Amino acid sequence: MGCLNGHRAIVTGGGSGIGAETCRRMAAEGARVAVVDVNGVNAQAVAGEIDGHAYAVDVTDYDALAVAMSDASDWMGGLTLLFNNAGGSTLSPVHDFDLAEWNRIVTLNLTGVFHGFKAGAPLILASGGGAIVSTASISGTRPAAGEAPYSAAKAAVVALTASAALEYAPDIRVNAVSPGMIRTPLTELLLDDRGIGLEAVQRSKTPLDRIGEPADIADVVVFLCSDAARFVTGQNIVVDGGMTLHGSGVDGVLDSVRNLLSSR
């Protein structure tokens, strides 16, 4: 018997990486899952694995997200779990960020999470309560050079989590998870030798001596959604193998990117 039996979940950014693995873990634990991703092909592929439902939606488009969430809730017979996971970033010194790019990163990583709350929380309340988890980042707790809008947005996700936990208690438990360096399509350029090739450096900074895998985060998300975490709300759970005991997760990455670009 799975720990999420009877639950009905929506996962944003569910088409790849942490989101996709969380969809699989939720389904394996008995939940029905709707997969939301800006890449509809990826969303459909994951949904096909888990007998789920796919939605090609950009979380920065509130109206589209609200329609998708409402439809998913109807399809599943309600909504009890929401994982606000969609996000992404680029690297640049603060003053070099184009205004449009700054706004894009903040909107995706912060406003996209707010959109999830705004569209999803009423559906969860109407279903009798549940849990919401959002993806923050160690970049929000220990920022590094080059990731200012991303770090600021992820720190704000933690604050939003705390506010929402107060507002929705006792019906909805609200938590965040802050991944460290996780092997996903978004980090491939940083880790792979065909890109910047920082895997050895990142491992050396991690006491548990490995790069994280999507399952490392998915398992924590499932825990936070389950009754095992029934007395946990308003928390930001760091899952980084101990990396931030030594400092920020991507120290020196901006310089590595600059060196790579200058050598081309």
Catalytic residues: 150
| C-alpha span between 67 and 57 (Å, rounded) | 10
Q: Which residues contact 97 (CB under 8 A, 6 or more apart)?
A: 148, 149
Q: Are the CB atoms for 211 and 191 separated by under 8 Å?
A: yes
Quickly tell me which residue has 């449009």 as its tokens.
Answer: 100
The order of strands in the sheet holding 81-84 is 53-56, 32-37, 8-12, 81-84, 130-135, 172-179, 236-239
Please give the distance of CA 170 from its chain centroid, rounded to a whole number.
24
Q: Are the CB atoms for 24 and 47 separated by under 8 Å?
A: no
